[in-house]
Chain A
Amino acid sequence: MADVITVPQVRPVQPALRFLRVIPGVLLLAAVGYAGKLLEQNVGAYAKAHHWTFPNIEYVLWAIVLGLVISNTVGIPEIFRTGVATYEFWLKAGIVLLGSRFLLGDILKLGGVSLVLVAIEIAGSLAFMTFLGRLFNLKPKLTSLLAVGSAVCGVSAIIATKGAIEADDEDSSFSIAAILALGALALFTFPLIGHALHLSDRAYGLWAGLGVDNTAEATAAGALYSDAAGKLAVLVKSTRNAMIGFVVLAYAIYWASQGQAKSVGNKAAFLWQKFPRFVLGFLLISVLATYHFFNKDQVGALANLSRWAFLLTFAGVGLRTSFSEMRKQGLRPFAVGAIGEVVIAGFTLALVYGASKLFGW
């Protein structure tokens, strides 16, 4: 006989109250991001005025570092947390607005090349992470989550896969922590390697979009190199994001065949449900820009709105990264993630290098 447990209805929070709750955190994102922008302008000018040799540090890095310092010293008080979590919203709004700077022809041209590279990257990453997970004797579903997180699009892919394959909360926390920690490392290492290898903006942008897992970190890693590299990193990363439904569907079918997850009924509906809407928004804005719906000044205004949205995102990347939380997650999944990421970064760099030789970039 089935027991019936009645769970009391959770009283929905009023929309106005929900809106008020995000304000302190959004103001914190804005303050940290703007402080990063001021530091970029003033530190460089101060160093120049005093004849110091000081590298030009972009607002992107200042905002992330300020956020990291705050979250790992004083911490984020409860009142700010809901608003700080909106950084993902600003990231996606920024990407949609950035679509105004792409003409459809560019997207088809670059998107075609990046689609081929993305397909190779996804297949290679899934295979290698699965091999590593087995080698380190990780739980199979944890291996699946790490593989999807590093092959497709970081945290969103892990969350989507967790629901589809019915993985444990603990496994998804492990995978998310590993992907975020490695994304934070990529922010500092990718630009250094790119400069050391004298990569062109195009080659570096492709590499950042292919090799950095989480969308926020890929956007930041691209922007840290140059504006053009940042634009391309977003395009390539969005192409990877568009693949999320197919990869999650494949894993859902696999785990259902093992009798460890629900079977997928309508596959087209499943794909539509998982497809990231912001990729559609990005494409639609670029179609409008291609057919001159916006004049030159308006495209400039939209590009600046996109930069402001990214400013809040970069502050959020720093503010939500807590090293002590990551330490709590244990070493083994992190080690698997780290080895996998280093290999994937090398593999994608080789892919980009090959493509740049082939296309003469």
Chain B
Amino acid sequence: MSAEVVGAKTGNRWKLSVDTWAVLVAFLLALLVRTGVFKHVPW
């Protein structure tokens, strides 16, 4: 007997992976540093 599962899709085809989010956030931070919004980041 085989079963077909209907309606379990999340339907969110634009959902980004953790990797992609990490790259986007890192580039946003780099842009903020480049444009001078973050002038000095202490450590």
Contacts and interface: CB of A to CB of B under 8 A. Distances in A.
A277 B30 contact: no
A5 interface: yes
B2 A2 contact: yes
Contacts of B21: 89
B25 A93 contact: yes
B4 A4 contact: yes
A3 B4 contact: yes
Interface in A293-312: 293-294, 297-298, 300-302, 304-305, 307-308
A313 B9 CA distance: 32
Contacts of A276: 19
A92 B41 contact: no
B9 to A, nearest CB: 8
A301 B23 contact: no
A5 B3 CA distance: 7
A6 B33 contact: no
Contacts of B27: 96, 281, 284-285
Interface stretch (A8-16, A137-145, A146-154, A173-181): A8-16
B40 interface: yes
A3 B1 contact: yes
B27 to A, nearest CB: 7
A6 B6 CA distance: 5
Interface residues of A, number: 38
A96 B23 contact: yes
Interface in A3-34: 3-10, 12
Contacts of A88: 18
Interface residues of B, number: 31
Most buried by A among B10, B11, B20, B26: B26
A93 B26 contact: yes
Contacts of A264: none
Given A100-B30, A301-B33, A89 B2 contact: no
A260 to B, nearest CB: 18
Nearest to B40: A301
A277 B42 contact: no
Nearest to B15: A12
A336 interface: no
Contact of B26 (A2, A5, A285): A285
A277 B3 contact: no
A113 B41 CA distance: 33
A294 B6 contact: no
A3 B4 CA distance: 6
Given A3-B2, A97-B26, 16 more contacts: A4-B3, A8-B7, A9-B8, A10-B8, A89-B22, A92-B26, A278-B22, A278-B23, A280-B23, A293-B34, A294-B33, A301-B39, A301-B41, A305-B29, A307-B43, A308-B43
9 contacts: A4-B3, A7-B5, A9-B8, A88-B18, A93-B25, A93-B29, A97-B30, A294-B30, A302-B33
Interface of B: 1-8, 10-12, 17-23, 25-27, 29-30, 33-34, 38-43
7 tightest Cβ-Cβ pairs between the two chains A and B: A92-B22, A281-B23, A96-B26, A277-B19, A304-B41, A301-B41, A93-B22
